[in-house]
Structure 1
Amino acid sequence: MSEIKHTKTDPADVFWGTAEDTRFGMLGVKGTDQHMQPMTHFVDRKGKALWFVTSRETDLAKTIGEGWQTKMSGDGTEAKFTIVSKGQDVQISAKGRLHYSDEKDKHEELWNPVIGAWFEGKDDPNLVVYRFELEEAAIWASTDSTFVFAWEIAKAQGRDKDPDVGVHEVINF
């Protein structure tokens, strides 16, 4: 099934499948003038969340805060995360809230050799984990076929109709 058809019939599955297949995206915090930053994410379908591991020393972590700063407000920090599929035929922009996590079980679950290359161990005081509680995602799926794209562009020339090269859906979590 093409991603266009799949996005029309089950956009949530396209979101989760793309997030699982694509290991990184761009994360940004609302209300700051920071650029979005490349981040590896960990998928939690059941919890309707993505998880991130970073260092306390990053601008991102300093902006988001941790511990009592995010737990006392309960609301988390508004953020956006963008993912582009490997084939570049699916683009996703997700909105949600980042929450600091001090859950040791989650730290243990997410730990892997790649994270270990950046930290001195699971108990490194600079290691912080955030849960991105998903609220909404916009999904664009387009053809990955050069022929189909060219055909649709050619058909649209001289007609009062846009080329049919993709679909846009919005899902709420």
Structure 2
Amino acid sequence: MADPQEIKQHFWKKLADSPFVMIGLEGGGHHEPLTAQLDQEQVDTIFFFIGKDNRLAQGGKTMAQFVAKGHDFFACLSGNARIDNDFGMVDKLWNSQVEAWFPGGKSDPNLALLRFDVDDAEMWETDVSLAGKVKMLFGGKIKAGDEGSHAVVGTTAEATGA
């Protein structure tokens, strides 16, 4: 079983590899899929380019769910979202995928940069052991050490003190 620090490192690697999350305001209806923009200098922060008319633009308490591309890692994140149109950050995170959604470029009048500050998270890594996979294949029972790792964390920072 991995320790929480290792799970947090895996989370950021998995999110970078497949940066799609379901995110929504608490009590604000259904969550929606958005593409995360990551800045390694921002601990516990995920950015999203959205339209100013998006329901998330009002900000507030927010929940986000992440499922890794291989369905071997899951995370539920809670925190606060707010618009942060720092042009330096917009410029830093801008890419061709974002430009496809905002034809007016970085100065598109509908462009907003949503900043999601993570307060806490719960993460699950389903690294089923070889013995566990054989048991599942033949209908055996999975024991506690066979199923993977789980962590409840107050920060998603990869290293203590970061």
User: TM-score normalised to the size of structure 1?
Assistant: 0.77
User: Which of the pair has more CA radius of gyration?
Assistant: 1
1:146 and 1:29 mapped to 2: Cα distance? 39
Identity %: 27
Which residue of the other structure, out of 42, 54, 57, is the alignment partner of 1:58? Answer: 54
2:133 matches 1:126: no
Compute the displacement of 1:138 (Å): 0.6
Q: Distance in 2 between matches of 1:122 and 1:138?
A: 34
Distance 1:7 1:31 in 2: 33
Deviation string 1:35-59 (CA, Å, 9 cap, x unpaired) is 1100000123432210010111223
Whole-Å separation in 1 of the counterparts to 2:85 and 2:9 = 29
Q: Give deviations 1:56-94, integer Å, cap 9, x for gaps.
A: 122332x43xxxxxxxxxxxx111111111110100111
Partner residue, 2:32: 37
Aligned-residue CA RMSD in angstroms? 2.4
Which secondary structure does the structure 1 equivalent of 2:11 belong to? Answer: helix
Q: Which residue, 109, 116, 122 being the options, matches 1:138?
A: 122
Determine if contact 2:128/2:146 at 8 Å carries over to the other structure: no
Give the structure 2 partner of residue 67 of structure 1. none
How do 1:12-161 residues align onto structure 2 when only pairs under 5 Å count?
12-32=8-28, 34-48=29-43, 49-61=45-57, 63-64=58-59, 77-119=60-102, 120-143=104-127, 148-151=132-135, 154-156=139-141
Whether 1:165 aligns to 2:161 is no
Partner residue of 2:160?
Answer: none
SS in 1 for 2:105: coil
Uncovered stretches (5+) of structure 2, i.e. residues with no partner: 156-162
Distance 1:11 1:85 in 2: 13
**8 Å Cα contact 1:26-1:81 kept in structure 2:** yes
- Segments of 5+ residues of structure 1 without an aligned counterpart are 65-76
CA deviations 1:82-137 (Å, max 9, x no partner) are 11111101001111111211211011111111111111111111000011111111
CA contact (8 A) 1:155 1:163 kept: no
